[in-house]
Amino acid sequence: MPPVRDAEVVLGLLRSAAEAARSTFERCLADGSPGGMRRAGRRPGQYAFDLVVDDAVLGILDGAGMGVLSEESGLTGHGDDSGLVVVVDPVDGSTNASRGIPWYACSLCVVDPDGPWVSVVMNLATGTLYEAVRGAGATRDGAAIAVADTARLSDALVVLNGHAPTHFGWRQFRALGATALDICAVADGSVDATIDCTHDALGPWDYMGAMLVLTEAGGLVVDAQGRELATLDHSARRTPVSACNPGLLEQALAARGKR
């Protein structure tokens, strides 16, 4: 396949990869409870279905002339033909998936020399599909989305990752367990902010696809320590905080502090 440079072509490729992830995971479910498929792998908490779905996604992306940075399989290729790299989390929210909680996703984001360019995030339980192209907005199941207008943290519904050491001043909070979908929920206005309370626990595959969806929907996401989020370093870990507007983001960062 020649190098891909058209955003619609790339979106089609990412959709196909996400559909392959969903159908492959559904086959894993049909074969037996995924909760029984935990295996010793390269990292703690890795499930057999993580690797099986990763293989299916890479099978779609193979030959597209792009490098791939996957949580499960690392960096394959370097995008030499196109300058593009696809950042992949085949199953974000694996614990949810293993327990039948319908909040887990396949996240894919194509990065070019200017940063995140095209992304697709699919809820693998429901099929809900988020898409974004840099400079062209974001959609949920084909309909344009936009963030909420909540101005104060005291009025906000906030999604947490990890354990908050204290009440940050939100109105309500949730802990849902899949960062990609959490940030997409800010993008479509379902929630107002996300705060990662861990210390450098998230890799770029966890947030990169949703980051583009959110920024194209009018929101913001930054690292709590001020570092660049758009990294292709497989060993990099970040602490993303997102919000529907700059004022709320500032309040969320101040409440969290540099913990």
99-117 pLDDT tens trace: 999 999 999 999 999 999 9
What confidence score (pLDDT) does residue 63 get? 83
Please answer whether residues 204 and 232 qualify as being in contact, where contact means their C-beta atoms are separated by less than 8 angstroms: yes
> What mean pLDDT is reported for the chain?
92
CATH architecture, domain 7-144: 2-Layer Sandwich (3.30)
Read off the pTM. Answer: 0.94
Please determine, for residue 225, whether its predicted confidence score (pLDDT) is greater than 50: yes
- Quick: pLDDT tens for 242-252: 999 999 999 99
Give the mean pLDDT of 2-26: 90
> Residue 39: is it exposed, middle or buried by C-beta count within 10 angstroms (0-12/13-18/19+)?
exposed
Please state which CATH number belongs to domain 153-256. Answer: 3.40.190.80
Please determine, for residue 190, whether its predicted confidence score (pLDDT) is greater than 90: yes
Ranges in the chain annotated CATH 3.30.540.10? 7-144
Amino acid identity for residue 198 in this structure: T
- Beta-bridge mates of residue 70: 74, 88
Of 172, 151, 243, the closest CA to residue 252 belongs to 243
> Residue 83: is it exposed, middle or buried by C-beta count within 10 angstroms (0-12/13-18/19+)?
middle
User: Is pLDDT larger for residue 31 or for residue 256?
Assistant: 256
- Quick: pLDDT tens for 34-64: 554 565 456 667 888 999 999 999 999 988 8
